[in-house]
Amino acid sequence: MLYVVSGPPAAGKSSWIQARAKAEDIVIDLDRITVALCGPGAPSWNHDEIQSKVALRARYAAIDEALKHIDVRDVYLIHTMPSARWQAKYKRLGAKVVAVDPGRDVVMQRIRDMRHDGLLAVATRWYSQQAKSSTQTTARQASRSW
């Protein structure tokens, strides 16, 4: 089974997976990949442009390979804000999509306390996208009822 775990930064996506995944499962987490590819002493929330690009390419390669094994292993994939294209792909694959969100105030405080300030903008974008998506869904549902 493929589990796609979305949500804003600092929402608890990794913790959600930690509570459910087994040792033999595959976990694809860009933050963990980035840390694994950085040299000794690098900060755990690294935003170096080159290291981030390398980690992103490694993530894509990991996704491609992991998808070949979803019939025999559970795959947990953190994807903060999947695009429409990725959402369609996950739907075709029969993924279970889980949104982890403890609430905007909690997320923003966690980012201030534990993360890089640049993630405040990412969280703001995530919440804006959610509001836009729910407005569009409501509008579609309302138009169907007419």
Question: At residue 82, what are phi and psi to the nearest 5 degrees?
Answer: -65, 135
Would you say residue 145 has pLDDT above 60?
no
Question: 134 or 7: which carries more pLDDT confidence?
Answer: 7
Would you say residue 113 has pLDDT above 80?
yes
Residue 134's pLDDT band (boundaries 50, 70, 90)? low
* pLDDT (0 to 100) of residue 56: 95
Would you say residue 144 has pLDDT above 60?
no
The per-residue pLDDT for range 67-84, each reduced to its tens digit, is 999 999 999 999 999 999
Residue 118's pLDDT band (boundaries 50, 70, 90)? confident
* pLDDT (0 to 100) of residue 46: 63
Question: All domains of the chain, ordered by start, with CATH?
Answer: 2-145 (3.40.50.300)
Global pTM value? 0.85
Residue 117 CB partners (closer than 8 Å, separation 6+): 111
Q: Average pLDDT of the chain?
A: 88
Would you say residue 135 has pLDDT above 50?
no
Q: What is the mean pLDDT of residues 78-101?
A: 95
What would you report as the CA-atom Rg of the chain, rounded to the nearest whole angstrom?
17
User: Strand 2-6's sheet: what is its strand order?
Assistant: 26-28, 75-78, 2-6, 96-99
Residue 88's pLDDT band (boundaries 50, 70, 90)? very high
Among 46, 75, 47, CA closest to 62: 75
Q: What is the mean pLDDT of residues 10-26?
A: 97
CA separation, residue 137 to residues 3, 67, 81 (Å): 23, 29, 17
Give the other-Cβ count within 10 Å of 26's Cβ.
18
